Structure 1
Amino acid sequence: MEKAEVRTWLAVGGLLHDIGKLIDRSGEGRAEEEEKRQFGYAHAVYSYKFLKELLEGKVSKEVEELILSGSYHHRPEPGNLYHLAQQIADHCASSERSKREDEGPAVYGSQSREEKRLKSILALVSLEGYCQSGLDQYEYQLKPLDLKKETLFPEEITEEKKAKGRQEYKELFENLKRQLQKLDFREPEKTLTKLYYLLYKYLWCVPASTYDKERGTKHYADISLFDHLRVVGALVSGLWTDYNIQRLKDGQEAVEFLLVEGDITGIQRFLYQLSNTKGVGKRLRGKSFFLSVLPVILGRFFLRELGYPMVNLLYAGGGKFQFVTGYEEGVEQKLDELQRRVDEVLVKEFGGHLGVVLGWLKVNGRELGVDILGEKIHELYDETGRKKFQKFSSVLENFDRLVNYLGPDNYEMCPSCQVSLKPEGEEFCKWCELFQEVGEKIPRAEYVVFSSEIGDLYLEGIGGVSVYAKGQIPYTLPGDTLLLLNRTDFEDKADGFFFLANTVPTKEEEGKILVKDFEEMLEEEEEGYKLLAFVKMDVDNLGLIFSQGLREDYSISRVATLSRSLDLFFSGYINTLLQKEEFKNKVYVVYSGGDDVFFCAPWEIALKVAKEIEKDFTEYTCYNKCFTLSAGVFFQKPTYPIRFGADKAEDEKDIAKADKNSISLWGQSLSWDKFRSALERLNEFMENFDVHSHRTLLYRIYTLLRTYKKDGKISLRFYPMFYYQLYRNIKGEEEQKELEKLILDPKNDYNIRDDAELLLKLVLMKTRGVSERTKEKSYILNKGG
């Protein structure tokens, strides 16, 4: 059996080595004392018995031995290298448990191990000088994974729900068991892929370890069983190299791994290189999708070429991918060669506007422990950052030849991206055409297929991805991976599932579902300026969170869990949020994944969406003050070029990030609390004041604020002019008070409110029609912001 196949079956054994923990908590396990002595722990006995029955008649004796080797991870048989590899992988993945124990006595008392739930890794994060967490009460419900809020969000579990723990564990096990029994184990990679997603669905909410009965200790339950299993699967496959096989008997310190990080460069500039020619919405959607899946395509390529299974891809999203392999002689040179091949393809296809930087670091098994890993990860980040200054260094000699492979004749500049050449007579260049075709499919997409050989979007020799709509039968080759999009009921339909923020406004035309252009998005707005808002949001202090937020708990499993948890919100849950009735079919998500989001919507809807994302993210992160979002909002006409809108929104976001936990509009940064309060006052004012009858007055007061404003301060001369306009134009005392309260703060000596000018702009925008092209509109948009 070739090494690649051995690694895959070892990874299957690693993914299943602790399945006995779920059996134990469901109350279904039985083990004799002799069996416990043989395997070391009761749950290992349960794993062995379950797998032995599961594999009966399905696999050869050799494959059975590889898969069952995981059951011996606590007590390997003497001389069995498969068993020893599983033991070392488990030790490397679970070393953090010895560093942090749950508080309280070793005996559980009123709360049994069946009642224990998974705590959120997001609640554990703590930053010195910023905040301390102490949010242990937030836990996940024991439910199979889906994108509903009530499933994904941790909460304070009631005693009533805790009492149902054993029954819920039993239901999870029975459902998972039923699906595992359908696996035929004929194809190694297919089996591993299906198994990976089954465990993701059913074990994402199950704590990896809560109680060590033999040692009498209680473990801190912040790592899911799924994340522990996938890390063990990755590490055990990495141990099957000639270099590591010879060192297995010498233990954890003797074996060595490579941690590899890929960073895709040029994403922002590449994404927004689009003119507003017809169909820009489709091309933008297709481009965004390509950039979302590119980390997966590249990660799969490197692992395939190195001979490792997909489970070794620890993370892929947000423009980055991370994987782990075993060390072997010459692997660095192999990575250099693979980097060169990728560089050649990216330069040839995209002219150097899109690239990838690969950094790697050799670590031994002990260095994967919590004492040292954080330092090593810093070294890896530094190495990747250094290589950014050497981008495309492997192909510099051939750069011009690769970029100009089409030659000078019979080609002209593409009017869409204005970067690549297109054949004479064609409307766009090859990639803009492909992005438009895929962008048209995505609104009704049901499946995505990753392939090394074909794809709607395909990089020669590297890999590609295809999109299939509902009702279409996906075409797959034997080595392809078929994934169900944004749904987890994949068991009888696909190999797994894939989360993608693909929310866009659509319309039906001649029986087809099409993406609306930005102008069409505004047609349904009944009043107010028909303006589009470009909104960018991302997590504050993300680098600090990953480098320092886990402190003494830093481990490969926790880093993997943290990355997955954040991406789950931005790639998955964002779709659920935008299906709310008030947002449905009104928001165009340009990109969302990793830790950030960029969307466009009618301006009033956009402000509500931004507010809702911040509110839900705060809840999702357990109200941990270490996790905050900053947002930038830019308003313009729907015909405004997307690349400029993105730049302006980024500028606004930079203003917000200077304060952090803020949103910036027209260059003015407001904390989220102040922003919510401002919108509440705005709504109250609109209900109690006849704004349509007094628009001229409101505009005059707005110009007064601008006139008497200097260096951010407003002159006292504003007050007599304000009250002159107020009493001259409004007779009713109640309306006078409403306008006065909007502009002045009665609780603060009637000082002018910080957000008065901003609110007046919003009032004027809400009450003006698009057909009225006045100097007022130009002034508010340009001078005012």
Structure 2
Amino acid sequence: MGERDPLNLSLSVLIRYAQSFLQRWGDPREGVSEFLSPLMNSDDEARLRLAEALAAGGEVPVAQWSEPIRLRSIFDRIEPALPPDRAGGYPLQALDRRRETLFPQRPRPAATEGEYRALARSLREALQGAEAFARGHPAAQIAGLLGAMARFAWCVPAASAAAFEDISLYDHGRVAAALAALLAEAPDEALRAWKAALRNGADAPPVALLIKGDLSGIQDFLYQVSGKGTARGLRGRSLYLQLLSEAVALFLLRQLRLPLVNLLYSSGGHFWILARPADAERLADLQRAVDRRLIAFHGMDLGLILGEVPLRPADLRPGGLKAAMDELAARIRARKLRRFADLPAGDWALLLRTTPDSTEPGDWTDCAVCGQVGRRGREIREVEGNVRKCLRCLSFEELGRQALDMSAVAWIVRAEDDGPAGEAASSSNWADPLAAFGLGVVLFNAQGEPIGDLPLPRDGEWALVWAVGSRAWDLQVRRRIAEQLGGLPTAFVPRFVLRYAPRVTAEDRERFKARYEARGEKMPEEGSIRDFEILEGWSTGIQRLGVLRADLDGAGTLFSEGLGPRMTLSRLVALSSTISRFFEGYVETLCRQRDPRRGGSGVIYALYSGGDDLFIVGAWDAVADLAGALRRELDAYTGGHPRIGLSAGLTLHGGRESAQRMAEAAGEALEEAKGYRGPDPGRQKDAFAFLGPVMPWRPGEVFHEVLRWRDRFVAIVDEETGAGEGRPRRRAGRGRSVLFALIRWALRIQRERARGRPGAQAILGPWLWQLPYFLARWQEMAEEGSGTEKLLREMRRDWERMGPAEASARIEAIWGPAARWAELLTRRGEGREAP
């Protein structure tokens, strides 16, 4: 490698930080690996120091620890910043999905030298392993070192100084390494100008180019599934979209001759790449290269939106990034509105093609899932029940099956990419579009064996392996994977990929087999993904499938404004990493922990969670409870920061309903939640749309009152019917009468409000005198001392203390939704099961 090689300087920065940590906290009797001894000259040193300063937003020393401290939660820095006495600190341990690892402890505990030294030992071992697997390949060395730091330096502050206590050594190190790769070829006069501008805020030429990529069309593509195999197809499509977005990002890195550290963020179909200012001239050609590959396989269904903004030294000073981030967001929005406007005329024929390029005769038909046209028996196959599916859709179903056992994903960087495909999309499998970007992808199980029958590419230069499951970090498993990859230089990095799905059990087959046979369908095999109809059948109360969509409120504003005057590039990257760990990592853990096992397996199916949003289906009652737990856990994760909220919509459906319609309905509910505006000034969004009026659900708000009354209503119905006590059901008593009355009155109020003037606060009607009358009558008829009698007495006391406006609001916003929720949970004759 030459002295000005971008990979060499990038690797040197990572080594500098790892070496500083080991020298400060490692065992002095252990030598430093040759992997940690780069050859440096004075020119390299100057460029590295400038890269470190740019990442830090100024001339601040990093990788120095006067004492062991815990990494402070980045959410403590969001404006308005939380005071030091409420600060949270992360456990000092290897990265994994567990709550006790990912959640900051509050108040922030003191750290010990023993914890730091234990991390240093683990990091040293990880670096030595990375060196061995990399086999001297520069790109694999960088990725391997990055992976080691992602596991063991994610929780270590970049320095013990207050200015760095909320930025991990891993996040700051990779930003500095990315900047070093850009400075490698910069002329000396530019270095001097950038250094001066960073110090005094003067104007200077751009030092970097921040590129954002958005994969568009994700929602329509993901939910373009219907009929048998929907559950498998959705899981496969969700994983494929994550793989495709990453493939595009890796392709761009390779075309720009940039190392993996320059991929600052990649999640949820979005990515950020830090490139050279001069790379802006290449973006149009790179956009076209990506477009041609995506069009060849997906036509107009999927596309890439690229936006870029130059970064000057003044932008990298604390608080200086806001204008650049706003400009970048505006460019992305504008280009989404004219997605194919710059497509060359010669590519339109490829874009509008709807059939394979073939003149061969055949029985032409279409795919029942995606509508792709092809020849029966060739591009289109008939599966069970005479359902026609194209090869690509069938391959997504197979990918969904494989994902259940996935513990690692290997990206084999090939010597040459395959370029745009010549065949129509229906003739491809899920791996073909990735190969067009120069990448072979292989899934491995927990034993390090390949999953599926796709051939391993033999023309690879090196392999990047996502360690998805904990077993993938076992040394013997890693060796087995490297062996299967033909001894290629290999790097292992931690990556959270959603894998959780309930599986078909013997009890399912016994309970639902007759239902399938009556339709002439074959029951799903034991061990495969439970389909939506089975999940619906395991609901408590009414049998319905719950569809939940949720996302973080104001994520764009949070990134551009949330950090205020403290925002630096490394702190921005730290914020994105922390949010991704919740949605990509912890959501799966939460699903596993909260999923009630019914019929021998779970009833919650986490289909998608990445970036800052999620899509989950399952037995409706379990998904509804999961939604509440999700909001509570986000509050614990962020320290209850008032600026960070989550909006969600939950809708109920039949298990055989179109996945696209389900997603659209849940999306509409999500938009309703985002449209919430509370009575207090500034209170908006951060709400739950379910069973009537949108419920604000911060701690102490309406949602929690609804839950309390729901549980009380369920309790009185169960008391009357004997549910859950092993006794035969008795006829429903006054408890259900109360529920139906409350539901009826709440609906009347909603109808009156819909007909009334906008902004009307109190809706007055006959319920204001009917309710206390019926409460008194029901209380007289209830058994004295029973749960029903006690509840009715409490409701009467509450009612007597209320004025007309408060009484109307109580029925509409709390008692009505709680009664409806309880009625659905206690619905008779719907196969009610105890959780």
**TM bracket, shorter-chain basis:** 0.7 to 0.9
**Aligned ranges for residues 375-774 of structure 1 at < 5 Å?**
375-395=323-343, 397=345, 398-404=347-353, 406-407=356-357, 410=362, 411-418=364-371, 420-425=372-377, 426=381, 427-453=388-414, 456-459=430-433, 460-462=435-437, 463=439, 465-471=441-447, 473-474=449-450, 475=456, 477-487=460-470, 490=473, 492=475, 493-494=477-478, 495-507=492-504, 513-525=527-539, 527-580=540-593, 582-583=595-596, 585-659=602-676, 660-672=685-697, 673-689=701-717, 690=719, 692=721, 693-694=732-733, 697-698=737-738, 700-702=740-742, 704-705=744-745, 708-709=748-749, 710-712=751-753, 713=763, 715-717=765-767, 719-720=769-770, 723-724=773-774, 727=777, 730-733=781-784, 734=786, 735-739=788-792, 741=794, 745-746=798-799, 748-749=801-802, 751-752=807-808, 753=810, 754-769=813-828
1: CA distance between counterparts of 2:22 and 2:746?
69
**Structure 1 length as normaliser, TM-score?**
0.83
8 A contact 1:231–1:557 mirrored in 2: yes
Change (3 A) 1:748 1:632: farther
Q: Give the AA of the match of 1:221.
A: E
1:395–1:12 distance in 2 versus 1, CA, 3 Å: same
Secondary structure in 1 matching 2:225: coil
Match of 1:779 in 2: none
* Partners of 2:272 and 2:174 in 1: CA distance: 14
DSSP-derived class of the 2:214 partner? strand
Q: Distance in 2 between matches of 1:541 and 1:627?
A: 8
Counterpart Cα distance in 1 of 2:299 and 2:305:
16
Q: Report the Cα distance in structure 2 between the residues aligned to 1:10 and 1:220, rounded to whole angstroms.
A: 23
Q: Secondary structure at the match of 1:458?
A: helix
Question: Matches of 2:675 and 2:83 in 1, distance apart?
Answer: 23
In 2, are the aligned partners of 1:456 and 1:467 still within 8 Å (CA)?
no
Q: How do residues 152-231 of structure 1 correspond to structure 2 at under 5 angstroms? A: 152-156=102-106, 162=110, 165-182=112-129, 183-184=131-132, 185-211=135-161, 218-231=162-175
Q: Give the direction of change, closer, same or farther, for the CA distance of 1:471–1:20 in structure 2 (3 Å limit).
A: closer
SS of 1:259's equivalent in the other structure is strand
Quote how far apart the aligned CAs of 1:740 are: 6.2
Question: Counterpart of 1:123?
Answer: 76
2:190 aligns to what? Answer: 247
Q: Partner amino acid for 2:350?
A: R
User: How many percent of aligned residue pairs carry the same amino acid?
Assistant: 24
SS of 1:559's partner is helix
| SS of residue in 2 equivalent to 1:417 | coil
Q: Aligned residue for 2:519?
A: none
Q: 1:26, CA displacement in angstroms?
A: 2.2
Question: 3-state DSSP class of the match of 1:323?
Answer: strand
Distance change (3 Å), C-alpha of 1:706 and 1:144: closer
Q: Report the Cα offset of residue 698 of structure 1.
A: 4.3
**Counterpart amino acid of 1:170?**
R
Q: Using the TM superposition, give the Cα deviation of residue 432 of structure 1 relative to its aligned residue in structure 2, in angstroms.
A: 1.0
Structure 1 residues 563 and 97: CA distance shift in structure 2, 3 A: farther
Between the aligned partners of 1:742 and 1:633, the Cα distance in structure 2 is 28
1:151 corresponding residue in structure 2: 101
Aligned counterparts of 2:75 and 2:319: Cα–Cα separation in 1: 20
1-structure distance, mates of 2:60, 2:448? 51
CA contact (8 A) 2:407 2:468 kept: yes
Alignment CA distance shift 1:246-1:327 (3 Å): farther
Conservation of the 8 A alpha-carbon contact between 2:73 and 2:87: no
| 1:708 to 1:208, Cα distance in 2 relative to 1, 3 A | closer
Evaluate the alpha carbon distance shift between residue 707 and residue 366 of structure 1 in structure 2; reply closer, same or farther with a 3 A threshold.
Answer: closer
Question: 1:343–1:581: structure 2 CA closer, same or farther, 3 Å change rule?
Answer: closer
Once the two structures are TM-superposed, the CA of residue 352 in structure 1 deviates from its matched residue by 0.9
- In structure 2, the CA distance between the partners of 1:12 and 1:375, relative to structure 1 (3 Å rule), is same
User: CA separation in 1, counterparts of 2:831 and 2:87?
Assistant: 55
User: Residue 138 of structure 1 aligns to a residue in which SS?
Assistant: coil
User: Structure 1 CA distance, aligned partners of 2:544 and 2:675?
Assistant: 27
- 1-side partners of 2:252 and 2:551: how far apart? 29
The residue matched to 1:592 in structure 2 has which SS?
Answer: strand
> CA separation of 1:401/1:542 partners in 2, compared to 1, >3 Å: closer, same or farther?
closer
Read off the aligned partner of 2:745 and give its amino acid letter.
Answer: L
2:283 maps to a residue whose letter is: L
SS in 1 for 2:307: strand
What's 1:233 paired with? Answer: 177
Q: CA RMSD in A?
A: 3.2
Q: How does 1:38-57 map to 2 (within 5 A)?
A: 53-55=32-34
CA positional deviation for 1:466: 3.3
Q: Is the 8 A contact 2:22 2:124 kept in 1?
A: no
Provide the residue aligned with 1:41 in structure 2.
none
Partner of 1:350: 298
Distance (Å, rounded) in 2 between the aligned partners of 1:389 and 1:499: 32
- Cα offset, 1:366, TM superposition: 4.4
Give the CA deviation at 1:165: 1.4
Q: Within 5 A, what are the aligned runs for 1:93-132? A: 93-95=55-57, 113-126=66-79
Partner Cα separation in structure 1 for residue 188 and residue 499 of structure 2:
45
1:615 Cα deviation after fit? 0.8
Report the CA distance between 1:273 and its aligned residue.
Answer: 1.6
Cα distance between partner residues in 1 of 2:302 and 2:547: 23
> Structure 1 residues 309-318 or 442-451, which shifts more?
442-451
Could you tell me how far apart the structure 1 residues matched to 2:638 and 2:244 are?
27
5+ residue gaps, structure 2: 198-204, 382-387, 418-428, 451-455, 479-491, 507-523, 677-684, 722-731, 754-762
Q: Secondary structure at the match of 1:448?
A: strand
Matched residue type, 1:286: G
Query: Deviation per CA, 1:678-706, whole angstroms, max 9, x where unpaired?
Result: 22222223224445422762465156416
Q: Is 1:337 paired with 2:396? A: no
Moved more, 636-645 or 481-490: 481-490
Q: How high is the TM-score relative to the length of structure 2?
A: 0.78
Structure 1 residue 634: Cα displacement: 0.5
Aligned-partner residue type, residue 283 of structure 1:
G
Q: SS of the counterpart of 1:631?
A: strand
Alignment partner of 1:260: what SS? strand
Deviation at 1:413, TM superposition (A): 2.4
Distance in 1 of aligned mates of 2:83 and 2:107: 18
Deviation at 1:389, TM superposition (A): 2.3
Q: Distance in 1 between matches of 2:628 and 2:179?
A: 41
Alpha-carbon separation, structure 2, partners of 1:135 and 1:624: 14
Give per-residue Cα distances to partners, 1:161-215, cap 9 Å, x unaligned: 52x511111111112112323313511122211111100111111110224xxxx
Residue 250 of structure 1, CA deviation = 4.9
**Which secondary structure state, in structure 2, belongs to the residue aligned with residue 16 of structure 1?**
helix
Query: Any conservation in 2 of the 1:705–1:757 contact (CA below 8 Å)?
Result: yes
**What is the CA–CA distance in structure 2 between the aligned matches of 1:68 and 1:378, rounded to whole Å?**
40
Give me the whole-angstrom Cα distance separating, in 1, the residues matched to 2:596 and 2:398: 26
Residues 358-378 of structure 1: per-residue CA shift (max 9 Å, x gap): 111223344322253222222
| SS of equivalent to 1:598 | strand
Q: How far apart in 1 are the matches of 2:321 and 2:622?
A: 44
Instruction: Quote how far apart the aligned CAs of 1:387 are.
Output: 1.7
Q: Give 1:298 deviation, angstroms.
A: 1.1
Deviation at 1:19, TM superposition (A): 2.7
3-state DSSP of counterpart to 2:148 = helix
Distance 1:566 1:707 in 2: 38
**Partner SS state of residue 537, structure 1:** strand
> Per-residue displacement from partner, 1:693-732 (whole Å, max 9, x unpaired)?
2276246515641674342335134633773487269332
Q: Which stretch shows the higher mean deviation, 679-688 or 460-469? A: 460-469
Kindly provide the CA deviation profile for residues 222-261 of structure 1, in whole angstroms up to 9, marking residues without a partner as x.
Answer: 11111111111111111123x5466345553567222111
Shift of 1:629: 0.9
Amino acid at match of 1:468: F
Q: 1:582 to 1:249 in 2, by over 3 A?
A: closer
Give the direction of change, closer, same or farther, for the CA distance of 1:139–1:772 in structure 2 (3 Å limit). closer
